[in-house]
């Protein structure tokens, strides 16, 4: 008599094998994510300072203090301004460059390398270059401005210019990454759609872009928007290397760094971290829910 199915012994061995294979990844997940997040949550309810032997549980006082802290509120406003400048510019520039490069055959790889180069460069190493370019007296940008009759601008030290300047640097580094993502999205659009659109009278490039390209890039645009938004809120390197938070240029991550590793208020820094993560989570969910309704999946 032929028996079908697995015996109890075989099923148990497969379960043991499955758990054994998942154990290393599960261990890393617990050690690298779950334990640190749990520790941050617990520490946010204390007044723990780095190096202290003891601490007290203070409940929600750290969170209440955050919304009364002028430095944190200013860093929050600066970060929102930074993201509002970088996010739409990086998306539209990345898309425009991708559309122009995608149509090229011989020189496409050259342009891809040129535009993607800022993504691969270390921003801390480039800080010296930016400091020279934007120097109010020695920088070539101000020399050009004065040559055409415009007064020299203190891009890094002037409170009115510092966030827009940091935004331009962030845009310089983010456009190439978004361009690569849009190029991948353009390559996945079937040519048959353009042929069918041409039969319907959509012969012009603008008409084809509006009817075919832009709708079919919906999933890519959603991904680019969410990742660019998160990248914008995670701005830290440019502030740490160029301004050190001076001239009112604090951003959220730099404020966290100051509270935790300069003032050693780890409990308060943990509370600010949770506020930051909660805001990013809510923003990502809202973006996905609002935009995904208009996304067309192939």
Spatial distance between the Cα atoms of 148 and 142, rounded to a whole number of angstroms: 10
Instruction: List per-residue pLDDT tens for the chain, 298 residues long.
Output: 444 455 677 778 778 888 888 888 888 888 888 898 899 999 999 999 888 888 899 989 999 999 898 989 999 999 999 999 999 999 999 999 999 898 887 888 888 888 888 888 777 777 778 888 888 888 888 888 888 888 888 888 888 899 999 999 989 989 999 999 999 999 888 888 877 777 777 677 788 888 888 888 888 888 898 889 889 998 888 888 888 888 788 899 999 999 988 889 999 999 999 998 888 888 888 877 776 665 555 5
| Predicted local distance difference test score (pLDDT) of residue 52 | 81
Spatial distance between the Cα atoms of 198 and 205, rounded to a whole number of angstroms: 10
| Predicted local distance difference test score (pLDDT) of residue 216 | 87
Closest CA to 63 of 46, 51, 48: 46
Bridge partner residues of 57 (DSSP):
46
Tokens representing 192?
């048959």
| Predicted local distance difference test score (pLDDT) of residue 54 | 83
Q: Is 6 left (phi over 0), alpha (psi -120 to 50) or beta?
A: beta
Residue 202's CB is within 10 A of a number of other CB atoms, namely 18
Tokens representing 186?
């353009």
Are 132 and 138 in contact by the 8 Å Cβ rule? The answer is: yes
Are 265 and 245 in contact by the 8 Å Cβ rule? The answer is: no
Spatial distance between the Cα atoms of 152 and 243, rounded to a whole number of angstroms: 18
| Predicted local distance difference test score (pLDDT) of residue 122 | 77
Spatial distance between the Cα atoms of 179 and 100, rounded to a whole number of angstroms: 10
- Residue 200 phi, psi dihedral angles, 5° rounding: -85, 0
| Predicted local distance difference test score (pLDDT) of residue 105 | 79
Tokens representing 144?
């050009």
Burial bucket for residue 43 (CB in 10 Å: 0-12, 13-18, 19+): buried
H or E stretch at 290: helix 266-292
Closest CA to 283 of 217, 215, 236, 227: 227
Q: Which domains does the chain possess?
A: 1-43 (no CATH), 61-292 (1.10.3720.10)
Q: How far is CA 260 from the centre of its chain?
A: 22
Spatial distance between the Cα atoms of 223 and 94, rounded to a whole number of angstroms: 13
Q: How far is CA 200 from the centre of its chain?
A: 40
On the CB side of 220, CA atoms within 13 Å amount to 24
Task: Give the relative orientation of helices 108-120 and 159-187 as an angle to the nearest 10 degrees.
Answer: 140
- Residue 13 phi, psi dihedral angles, 5° rounding: -65, -40
| Predicted local distance difference test score (pLDDT) of residue 1 | 44
């Amino acid at each position: 008599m032929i028996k079908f199915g697995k015996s109890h012994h075989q099923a148990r061995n497969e379960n043991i094998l499955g758990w054994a294979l998942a154990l290393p990844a599960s261990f890393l997940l617990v050690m690298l994510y779950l334990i640190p997040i749990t520790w941050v949550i617990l520490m946010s309810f204390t007044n723990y300072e780095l190096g202290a032997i003891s601490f007290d549980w203070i409940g929600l006082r750290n969170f209440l203090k955050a919304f009364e802290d002028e430095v944190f509120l200013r860093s929050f406003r600066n970060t929102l301004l930074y993201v509002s400048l970088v996010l739409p510019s990086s998306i539209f520039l990345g898309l425009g460059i991708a559309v122009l490069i995608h149509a090229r055959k011989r020189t496409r790889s050259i342009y891809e390398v040129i535009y993607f180069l800022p993504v691969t460069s270390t921003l801390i190493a480039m800080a010296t270059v930016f400091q020279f370019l934007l120097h109010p007296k020695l920088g070539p940008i101000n020399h050009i401005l004065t040559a055409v009759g415009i007064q020299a601008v203190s891009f890094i030290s002037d409170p009115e210019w510092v966030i827009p300047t940091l935004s331009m640097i962030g845009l310089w580094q983010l456009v190439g990454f978004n361009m690569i993502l849009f190029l991948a999205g353009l390559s996945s659009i079937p040519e048959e759609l353009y042929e069918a659109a041409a039969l319907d009278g959509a012969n012009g490039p603008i008409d084809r872009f509006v009817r075919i390209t832009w709708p079919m890039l919906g999933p890519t645009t959603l991904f680019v928007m969410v990742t660019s938004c998160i990248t914008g809120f995670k701005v830290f390197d440019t502030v740490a290397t160029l301004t050190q938070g001076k001239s009112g240029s604090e951003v959220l991550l730099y404020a966290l760094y100051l509270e935790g590793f300069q003032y050693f208020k780890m409990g308060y820094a943990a509370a600010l971290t949770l506020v930051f993560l909660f805001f990013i989570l809510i923003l990502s969910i809202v973006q996905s829910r609002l935009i995904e309704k208009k996304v067309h999946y192939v």
